[in-house]
């Protein structure tokens, strides 16, 4: 964030003193003795003097930022005095004349190492990508993750720093906001999730939504507030008999209420194509108990005991029981979830946790370490420790370039796991979506290399069979078998793909020749001439450096990249470029700093992205390609977030032209109760009342319910919102939402 210098006023000094007093109050609860508090005090005094007279873009004294980061470190993450001190000092080396050696001399080696790690992260993130270097952003993230090898606390403090920067993001120019929020969604939010930092993750998600989809955020927030006010008494009435029953069973407990966050509601609405009113688990009640001492019951047994008590009071939904006590999430989360029907007729999710489970759920890895240090890490070995070890292995692999590594880590952070069983009943964890062949490689490389088929639940299936939770899997092998290129088309796990890739490298030259021929034939058949410009565009799409064409041909030759996908993608781009898009957008007027690489000249050509199909009125962000063409996405588009996180230097901030009356294709998903004439009524209203052109309609009915989609052309988001509201009022229609084409 840009800084300025001016003398502090008396009011500034009062604000600094007040904020530090708040930090000191929470730090005293975390520090073990006065000596540790003295280190925190010394760090504050040093940082306060170093940043004296310096202000942030918002105009507030700069020292308030390190104080706020330190508060997050202790309050939200639960780290100790060294981390609090490092948070207070984290910008001193980068922004003043002090060095890491100065920090070491004053505060010791460990705090100096933490500050040094944070300084290096700040330098690489603030260093804008150089023209033509497409992987510098990925290299930056690699360096961030490499700090996991030194001290995970560096990443935890960086997450606190990123959270506070998100809290104050309103003072940044829009192009910088887009870059920071996209980085946050692509890597920092999944990282916070994997490290178990629920509060940090949730707040960053809500901030992301507030700026990426402001209308949706405001609408959902307003509905939450109205709903909570209406249902407050019902929730209290629901809790009352639970409290009495737990007291009667002599449990030492507390009960908390919570409502789903705006982001989690929005995400569910978008991914499931439902409305706010259709989210039935809007409310949650959390039961947190301290395990009874001197009992033979384990924590798990006591959680089940609580479950039996509350399900004696209320009916529960069997398909909504989630047992993360027996099978913890891969970020260490443990709890027993169930959804109960209240006596007033609303579904309420109940989460059952011990105090230890709750601390780990809220504070993540720091709480896990604290319990482990005290000799009590629970009945389950920490999946977090395993994950950190796995990440370290990936990071030091010399065969993985930065862009590939970023995708590997991003995918791994977002991967969900399932449990399957060996023929002898041994339980194995594997990522969701994995195949029988992935399972074979997870057992042993030789079993994977010689696999020919599998038996799942005693039934013969191909190696490409996608496993489901609870499957019992047996691998059939033959010593004459060896890895095949086509396996790469369905393998899902990094380990299995790496093993097969390594095996196939011995045949690399043949694969390169095959891939070159396949690509040329495919593009020629599509009428696309193979040029360096076309090759660079393809390589950019798949994260391959421009000086490594053989890698592109190799991936095509072994089947990792499909030629039909390439040709179709290029054909869509060329078709889009042949149209006159310039009247749809103009570069946004700049009030402060220009967006990196942005120009206000007429050379900009604009293309709307086919992945999200933005229409006028949508919040959009653009990315300038090598030929100057700007591809425009919705700000909430996952592809746009990935692109901004990897290539922040390409961001352009366009605006829709107000005079534009072009038509844009959108899709509405629609569902309701079938009745005679309802489809005619829908189409007649769209065509004749709203004068909207329908491109296609796909509706099916079954058991008195109809659902399907309608593709139509609209001028802008206002027209679309009006149409959705009007259709929603037709008798029998239950749900109308905009979905991806």
Residues 6+ apart with CB under 8 A from 702: none
Handedness of CA 220, 226, 231, 232 (dihedral sign): positive
Of 140, 122, 147, residue with least CA distance to 65: 122
CB 715 within 8 A of CB 656: no
Angle at the Cα of 83 (from 81 to 85), degrees rounded to 5? 70
Structure tokens at 497: 């793909």
* CB atoms inside a 10 Å sphere around CB 271: 8
Would you give the DSSP letter of residue 73?
Answer: I
Q: Are strands 347-354 and 283-290 parallel, antiparallel or unpaired?
A: parallel
Residues 6+ apart with CB under 8 A from 308: none
- E strands, 163-301, are 252-259, 283-290
b/e map of 279-317 (b: 16 or more CB within 10 Å)? bebbbbbbbbbebeeeeeeebbebbbbbbebbeeebebe
Taking the mean position of all CA atoms in its chain, how far away is CA 441? 28
Structure tokens at 697: 């309609």
* CB atoms inside a 10 Å sphere around CB 86: 30
The continuous run of DSSP H or E covering 418 comes out as strand 417-421
CB 541 within 8 A of CB 609: no
Of 205, 20, 42, 29, residue with least CA distance to 111: 42
The continuous run of DSSP H or E covering 717 comes out as helix 717-728
Would you give the DSSP letter of residue 61?
Answer: B
Question: What residue spans of 526-580 are helical by DSSP H?
Answer: 532-541, 549-557, 563-577
Q: Which residues pair with 620 in a beta bridge?
A: 634
Entry field: residues in the chain: 741
Phi, psi (deg, nearest 5) at residue 633? -120, 160
Angle at the Cα of 205 (from 200 to 209), degrees rounded to 5? 150
148 burial (CB, 10 Å; 0-12 / 13-18 / 19+) is middle
If you count DSSP H runs as helices and E runs as strands, how many of each does the chain have, helices first?
29, 22
Phi, psi (deg, nearest 5) at residue 466? -85, 120
Q: Which residues pair with 455 in a beta bridge?
A: 460, 474
The continuous run of DSSP H or E covering 682 comes out as helix 678-684
Query: For residues 582 and 604, what is the distance between their CA atoms, to the nearest angstrom?
Result: 7
Taking the mean position of all CA atoms in its chain, how far away is CA 432? 17
Of 200, 205, 201, 188, residue with least CA distance to 77: 200
HSE, side-chain direction, 13 A CA sphere, residue 89: 34
Q: Which residues are catalytic?
A: 94-95
682 burial (CB, 10 Å; 0-12 / 13-18 / 19+) is buried
Query: For residues 183 and 189, what is the distance between their CA atoms, to the nearest angstrom?
Result: 9
> Reduced to 3 states, what is the DSSP secondary structure of residue 279?
coil
> Reduced to 3 states, what is the DSSP secondary structure of residue 356?
helix
């Amino acid at each position: 964030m840009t800084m300025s210098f001016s003398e502090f006023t008396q009011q500034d000094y009062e604000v600094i003193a007040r904020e530090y007093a708040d930090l000191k109050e929470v730090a005293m609860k975390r520090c073990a003795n006065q000596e540790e508090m003295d280190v925190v005090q010394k760090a504050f005094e040093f940082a306060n003097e170093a940043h004296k007279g310096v202000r942030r873009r918002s105009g507030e004294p700069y020292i308030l930022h390190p104080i706020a980061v330190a508060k997050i470190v202790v309050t939200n993450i639960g780290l100790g005095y060294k981390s609090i001190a490092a948070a207070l000092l984290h910008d001193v080396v980068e922004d003043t004349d002090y060095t890491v050696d100065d920090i070491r001399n004053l505060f010791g080696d460990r705090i100096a190492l933490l500050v040094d790690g944070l300084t290096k992260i700040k330098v690489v993130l603030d260093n804008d990508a150089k023209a033509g270097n497409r992987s510098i952003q990925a290299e930056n993230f690699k360096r961030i993750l490499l700090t996991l090898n030194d001290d995970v606390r560096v990443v935890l403090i960086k997450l606190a720093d990123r959270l506070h920067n998100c809290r104050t993001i309103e003072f940044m120019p829009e192009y910088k906001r887009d870059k920071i929020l996209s980085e946050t969604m692509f890597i920092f939010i999944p990282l916070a999730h994997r490290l178990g930092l629920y509060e940090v993750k949730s707040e960053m998600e809500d901030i992301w939504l507030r700026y990426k989809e402001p209308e949706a955020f405001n609408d959902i927030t307003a509905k939450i507030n109205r709903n909570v006010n209406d249902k407050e008494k019902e929730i209290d009435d629901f809790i009352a008999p639970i409290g009495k029953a737990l007291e009667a069973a002599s449990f030492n407990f507390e009960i908390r209420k919570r409502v789903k966050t705006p982001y989690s509601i929005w995400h569910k609405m978008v991914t499931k194509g439902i409305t706010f009113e259709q989210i039935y688990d809007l409310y949650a009640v959390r039961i947190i108990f301290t395990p009874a001492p001197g009992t033979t019951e384990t924590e798990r047994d006591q959680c089940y005991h609580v479950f039996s008590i509350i399900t004696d009071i209320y009916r529960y939904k069997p398909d909504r029981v989630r047992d993360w006590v027996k099978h913890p999430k891969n970020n260490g989360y443990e709890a027993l979830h169930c959804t109960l029907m209240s006596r007033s007729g609303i579904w309420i999710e109940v989460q059952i946790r011990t105090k230890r489970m709750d601390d780990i759920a809220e504070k993540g890895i720091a709480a896990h370490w604290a319990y482990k240090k005290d000799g009590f890490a629970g009945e389950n070995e920490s999946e977090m420790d395993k994950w950190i070890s796995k990440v370290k292995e990936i990071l030091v692999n010399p065969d993985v370039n930065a862009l590939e590594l970023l995708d590997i880590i991003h995918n791994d952070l977002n991967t969900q796991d399932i449990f399957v069983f060996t023929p002898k009943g041994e339980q194995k964890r594997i990522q969701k979506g994995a195949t029988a062949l992935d399972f074979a490689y997870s057992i042993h490389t030789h079993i994977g290399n010689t696999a020919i088929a599998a038996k799942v639940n005693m039934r013969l299936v191909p190696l490409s069979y996608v496993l489901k939770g609870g499957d019992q899997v047996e691998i059939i092998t033959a010593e004459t078998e060896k890895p095949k290129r086509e396996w790469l088309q369905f393998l899902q796990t990094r380990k299995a793909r790496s093993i097969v890739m390594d095996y196939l490298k011995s045949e690399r030259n043949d694969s390169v020749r095959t891939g070159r021929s396949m690509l040329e034939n495919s593009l020629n058949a599509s009428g696309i001439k193979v040029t360096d410009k076309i090759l660079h565009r393809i390589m950019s799409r798949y994260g391959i450096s421009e000086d490594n064409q053989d890698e592109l041909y190799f991936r095509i030759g072994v089947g990792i990249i499909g030629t039909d996908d390439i040709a179709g993608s290029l054909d869509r781009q060329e078709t889009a470029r042949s149209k006159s898009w310039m009247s749809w957008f103009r570069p946004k007027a700049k009030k402060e700093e220009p967006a990196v690489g942005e120009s206000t000249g007429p050379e900009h050509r604009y293309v709307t992205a086919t992945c999200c199909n933005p229409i006028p009125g949508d919040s959009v962000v653009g990315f300038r390609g090598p030929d100057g063409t700007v591809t425009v996405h919705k700000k909430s588009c996952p592809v746009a977030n990935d692109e901004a996180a990897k290539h922040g230097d390409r961001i352009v901030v366009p605006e829709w032209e107000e005079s534009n009356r072009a038509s844009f294709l959108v899709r509405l998903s629609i569902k309701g109760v079938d009745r005679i004439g309802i489809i005619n009524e829908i189409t007649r209203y769209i065509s004749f009342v709203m004068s909207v052109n329908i491109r296609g309609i796909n509706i099916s009915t079954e058991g008195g319910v109809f659902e399907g989609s309608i593709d139509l052309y609209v001028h802008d988001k206002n027209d679309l919102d009006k149409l959705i509201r009007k259709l929603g009022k037709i008798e029998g229609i239950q749900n109308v939402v905009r979905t991806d084409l």
